[in-house]
Amino acid sequence: MEGAVRAQTADPGSPESNAAPAPARETHVFTAPEIMCGGCLKTIETALADTPGVDSARANLSARRVTVTFDPAVTSPELVVVAIKRAGFSAAPLIDGGDEIHAARVGELMPRVGVAGFAAANIMLLSVSVWSGHASDMDDSMKSLFHWISALIALPAIAYAAQPFFKSAYAALSARRLNMDVPISLGITLATAMSFVQTMRGTDHVYFDAAAMLVFFLLIGRLLDEQMRARTRSAAENLMSLKALTATVLDPDGAVRQIPSRNLIPGMTMIVAAGERIAADGVVQDGVSEIDESLISGETLPKPVSRGDRVHAGTLNTAAPLRVTTTATEDNTLLAELSRLMLAGEQTRGRYVRLADRAARLYAPAVHLLGLSTLIGWLVTGHGWEIALTNAIAVLIITCPCALALAVPAVQVAAISRLFGQGVLVKAADGLERLSEVDTIVFDKTGTLSMGEPTLALDQPIDADVLARAAGLAIVSRHPYAQALVRAARARGIPFESQLGVREFPGSGLAFDTPDGEERLGSALFTGAAVTDPRHLASLWYARPGRAPVGFRFEDRLRSDAPETIAALQAAGYRIEILSGDRADAVSDAAHALGVTAYQGGVRPEEKLNRLTALKSQGRTTLMVGDGLNDAPALAAGHASMSPSAAADISQNAADAVFQGEKLGAVLEALKVARRAHRMALENFGIAMLYNIAFVPMAVMGYVTPLLAAIAMSTSSILVTGNALRLRTMKLSLDRVTASRSKQS
């Protein structure tokens, strides 16, 4: 997908077209891989707000992207990139493969973590030898040798491994701002430089181990965050990957040629073969077939189409060739509109700013001020520069936000590991945090509450011989109803044989010649069945000579644990709604079976999006659970979102989490883990704050050396990690949702 998504102008036939034309606006998406925290979002958005011609700018933390709407007559994508770079961040227009940046950053961090860990472990071994109780037995030359060996290990290792922090700090300082990497870089640099000077002077105050260990722990936190970000991808970008790249067109002179789909114009005639995606919206001119139209209705069953029926770009022709006259192409197709809806949904999602990022806005300058005050204070009181600088370094190291940086990632890793064991894959970096805040859950029906495949209804008496003969015809077809009939016969242990010479009529059914006459399996019209009850209309009919046609009714069965899962969610205080593109009567039956009072069928993608917007305006935080392409905009717009593993790729990419298997209870488990993870993240923040309250004053007063500061800092990291690991084996229950939760953002 291209990085530019042009905004639509007014319809020429609308009343607005009689007024002065509105100025053209363009919306472009840019990658900004150096976005690290909530402060970065604010810096970029503020910088772009001051850029002439920019109407709006929204930075996305989890995707590290910036969406900008501007007047092309005043500014351009190049000028937007310049504005972002002036704010201290690299940027580029989003193009195909832009998400490879995340994978590249993970690939860059992995060897740095290895180098830092190797260096820290070896330097610590040398430091233990020097600082152990037998240090008095070691002569000065041996201590000096150990210090020089430590320097030879630490200097190149730190210079290489700490580059992500150094580059980030340099970019921030170049833009005259501070971030959390500035005190980290300063502490690492000062500790390393002072240790090197002390090594040259032959003194004992050498802290290479502290600097190397600090780099190691911080790189682990950065790597965990990057690995989660690398799995996220723009839903709008993935949706456009469903667009057919080429189209076969029939010219007026009868010539057939292939052209890029972007060159299609309304009025052209396309030839769409069976198994091909339709390249543009249009009307069927000739042919009878079936279309997989799940992105429109969410219904997994193919839709029969013939002359005069409308078809849409991105849908799949499953049965027979069609001739289609194009009516809307490129940016005007329904597929492009869905992409715009998802892009809008991603940007209107409330940004969940982590507590660590909020604290970082004041944390970084406070750390520098405290370190400088410590240095000046010790100098003013008559102490030498060495003691003053040592105490200042200790303050910088002990206040470096290692525990604070690991507080959320450690909990996320433990939570994600537990959920993975339960068949739930959390994709979004802040997905757990948003799942913990929801108070309303909106379910799609087909493929979400239900299995998404037809099964033969059990409440109809069907003779075993009839089912066997029908299955013998059905086995040659890939139609969902035919396959369901075959599964039903096998499930009941009814033997049948595949018939040779079965003819398939697309959109109608199957026919087979026997000595007694023709047997047919298909629609009521095809088999000559008389339909009298439209409410319980059979979906498939079998007819043979001398016998009345027999109807087979199919149903989309609910997931086996759906009733108990919905009941548990309602008992916990969640508001439950069902929004589905399926038939109203099917949705009503499912809602009554599940005890859900708020439901609606026949809902289109934009209507789902509007409903989520309405819920948000009521102060509710919504979890959207869906599987179809028509659910993708709503999945992107929901405060949080989940999708089953059998969902369309675009829905899985739009969702924050994907659950495996046939059990809906995965949604319940995800909410339990998310809410507990939220509390444990707060506990970790408390541990980090108590650590600072206890040790920072001691460091300022000179009671903590840089080495002890590094040990205290490492201990705080171990504590928050150990606390997080408890989540993997804890027995969890779903606490009742309170009304106040809906007011959180």
DSSP letter for 87, please.
T
CA–CA dist 637, 533 (Å, integer): 40
State the CATH class of domain 425-451+558-671. alpha beta
**Residue in 575, 559, 561 with CA at minimum distance from that of residue 624:** 575
**Residue in 380, 396, 21, 475 with CA at minimum distance from that of residue 182:** 396
**Alpha-carbon distances, residue 255 vs 260, 276, 326 (angstroms):** 16, 20, 17
Residue-range domain boundaries for the chain = 4-98, 99-230, 239-345, 425-451+558-671, 455-555
Query: Does the structure show a pLDDT above 70 at 405?
Result: no
Least confident of 2-11, 201-210, 486-495, 619-628: 2-11
DSSP letter for 299, please.
-
Contacts of 61 (CB under 8 A, 6+ apart): 35, 37, 38, 40, 41, 351, 353, 357, 429, 430
pLDDT bucket at 252, cuts 50 / 70 / 90: confident
Contacts of 163 (CB under 8 A, 6+ apart): 112
* Pick among 3.30.390.10, 3.20.20.120, 2.70.150.10, 3.30.950.10: CATH of 239-345: 2.70.150.10
* Pick among 3.30.70.100, 2.60.40.420, 3.40.50.2300, 3.10.450.50: CATH of 4-98: 3.30.70.100
Check residue 226 and give its pLDDT.
62
CA–CA dist 215, 154 (Å, integer): 11
Q: Tokens 């939570």 belong to which residue?
A: 415
CA–CA dist 390, 374 (Å, integer): 10
Average pLDDT over residues 109-116: 88
Question: Can you tell me whether residue 460 is helix, strand or coil?
Answer: coil
Check residue 714 and give its pLDDT.
65
Residue 69 burial (CB count, 10 A): 17
Residue 71 burial (CB count, 10 A): 14
Contact 372/388 with Cβ under 8 angstroms? no
Contact 196/384 with Cβ under 8 angstroms? no
Average pLDDT over residues 413-439: 78
Least confident of 10-24, 424-438, 511-525, 593-607: 10-24
DSSP letter for 669, please.
H
Check residue 352 and give its pLDDT.
35
Indicate the residue type of 730: M
Contacts of 121 (CB under 8 A, 6+ apart): none
**Alpha-carbon distances, residue 501 vs 242, 470, 472, 498 (angstroms):** 36, 14, 11, 10
pLDDT in tens, 468-519: 999 999 988 878 788 889 988 988 888 888 888 888 887 788 999 988 889 9
DSSP letter for 660, please.
-
Q: Which residue has the higher pLDDT, 219 or 285?
A: 285
Instruction: Please give the share of the chain, as a percent, with pLDDT higher than 70.
Output: 75
Two structure tokens written together for 183 = 């005190």
Q: Which residue has the higher pLDDT, 377 or 368?
A: 377
Torsion, CA 683, CA 684, CA 689, CA 695, rounded to 10: 120
Kindly name the residue from 281, 430, 444, 556 that is annotated as catalytic. 444
Query: Does the structure show a pLDDT above 90 at 380?
Result: no
Q: How many CA atoms lie within 13 A of 109 on its CB side?
A: 22
CA–CA dist 220, 334 (Å, integer): 44
Indicate the residue type of 137: D
CA–CA dist 34, 154 (Å, integer): 26
Query: Does the structure show a pLDDT above 60 at 240?
Result: no
Instruction: Please give the share of the chain, as a percent, with pLDDT higher than 90.
Output: 10
Average pLDDT over residues 285-298: 72
Helices (H), 132-204: 140-161, 163-174, 181-201
Annotation says 444 is catalytic? yes
Contact 188/214 with Cβ under 8 angstroms? yes
Average pLDDT over residues 358-371: 66
Average pLDDT over residues 235-247: 61
CA–CA dist 264, 248 (Å, integer): 10
Contact 197/213 with Cβ under 8 angstroms? no
**Residue in 46, 340, 41, 92 with CA at minimum distance from that of residue 56:** 46
What's CA 507's distance to the chain center, in Å?
Answer: 38
pLDDT in tens, 258-271: 888 878 888 899 99
Least confident of 198-212, 237-251, 363-377: 237-251
Query: Does the structure show a pLDDT above 90 at 564?
Result: yes
Burial class (CB in 10 A: 0-12, 13-18, 19+), 248: middle
**Alpha-carbon distances, residue 171 vs 66, 77, 408, 598, 612 (angstroms):** 18, 21, 25, 51, 39
Which long-range contacts link 172-176 to residues 24+ away (Cβ below 8 Å)? 172/88, 174/88, 175/43, 175/86, 175/87, 175/88
Residue 249 burial (CB count, 10 A): 19
Contact 527/541 with Cβ under 8 angstroms? yes
Average pLDDT over residues 707-735: 76
Check residue 219 and give its pLDDT.
80
pLDDT in tens, 655-708: 778 787 778 888 999 999 989 988 888 888 888 778 778 888 888 888 876 667
Check residue 324 and give its pLDDT.
93
β-strands 657-659, 640-644 pairing? parallel
Question: Can you tell me whether residue 386 is helix, strand or coil?
Answer: helix
Q: Angle at which helices 480-491 and 464-474 pack, to 10 degrees?
A: 140
Two structure tokens written together for 41 = 């979002």
Contact 508/522 with Cβ under 8 angstroms? yes
Two structure tokens written together for 139 = 């002569």
Residue 382 burial (CB count, 10 A): 6
pLDDT bucket at 358, cuts 50 / 70 / 90: low
Two structure tokens written together for 381 = 């009181």
Check residue 3 and give its pLDDT.
41
**Residue in 65, 706, 3, 661 with CA at minimum distance from that of residue 392:** 706
Check residue 532 and give its pLDDT.
58
Q: How many CA atoms lie within 13 A of 300 on its CB side?
A: 22
Indicate the residue type of 469: R
Residue 240 sits at the vertex; the CA angle it makes with 37 and 339, to the nearest 5 degrees, is 65
CA–CA dist 574, 563 (Å, integer): 15
Contacts of 174 (CB under 8 A, 6+ apart): 88
CA–CA dist 424, 674 (Å, integer): 12
What's CA 745's distance to the chain center, in Å?
Answer: 18
Residue 435 burial (CB count, 10 A): 28
Least confident of 151-160, 308-317, 412-421: 412-421
Contact 290/318 with Cβ under 8 angstroms? yes
Check residue 339 and give its pLDDT.
58
Query: Does the structure show a pLDDT above 70 at 180?
Result: no
Check residue 10 and give its pLDDT.
37
Q: Tokens 């499953």 belong to which residue?
A: 318
Q: What CATH homologous superfamily does 455-555 map to?
A: Calcium-transporting ATPase, cytoplasmic domain N (3.40.1110.10)
Contact 646/468 with Cβ under 8 angstroms? no
State the chain's mean pLDDT as an integer: 76
For the chain, the 3-state helix, strand and coil shares in percent, each to the nearest 5, are 50, 15, 35
The pTM of the whole model exceeds 0.85: no
**Residue in 327, 333, 206, 355 with CA at minimum distance from that of residue 270:** 327
pLDDT in tens, 292-338: 766 554 455 677 888 888 888 878 888 788 999 998 877 667 666 65
The residues pairing with 28 across neighbouring beta strands, listed in sequence order, are: 4, 68
Query: Does the structure show a pLDDT above 50 at 350?
Result: no
